Amino acid sequence: MLNIGLVVLGVADVPRAAEFWRQALGYDLRTDGFGGWATVLTPPGGSGTKIALQRSQTPLQDHPRLHLDLHAADAAEQAAEAARLVSLGAERVDWDSYPADPDFVVLADPDGNRFCIVDLGHGRT
């Protein structure tokens, strides 16, 4: 049975992206050719979703078909994490597709790749 080995993220500046995502997620950097990739970020302990970084000049999409969702326990954690990631170089995105009561915020990494921070406690009382 197949499983997802890692997610590949196209970036213009691999070292900058590696540093951003390493700090954002607390991941470790591997440059030993894991899975055939020169730059791979792995969760501490090695278990969980890995991210390979690939140099790419492909134009960014305003509404990408694939993106990362980062989970926060509640709205306070979501806001704190969004502020932390902005301080690391992310940018807030003026997203034109938010629903009336969104449980997510859209950010872009330093290369412009869109990702969301989702409030898992949204709507719970």
Q: Considering Cα of 103, then 110, then 41, then 50, what sign does the dihedral take?
A: positive
| CB 14 within 8 Å of CB 55 | yes
- CATH level 3 topology of 68-119: 2,3-Dihydroxybiphenyl 1,2-Dioxygenase; domain 1 (3.10.180)
The 10s digit of each residue's pLDDT in 54-110 is 999 999 999 999 999 999 999 999 999 999 999 999 999 999 999 999 999 999 999
pLDDT of residue 123: 79
CA–CA dist 124, 33 (Å, integer)? 43
- CATH level 3 topology of 6-55: 3.30.720
pLDDT band at 125 (very low <50, low <70, confident <90, very high): low
Domain boundaries, the chain: 6-55, 68-119
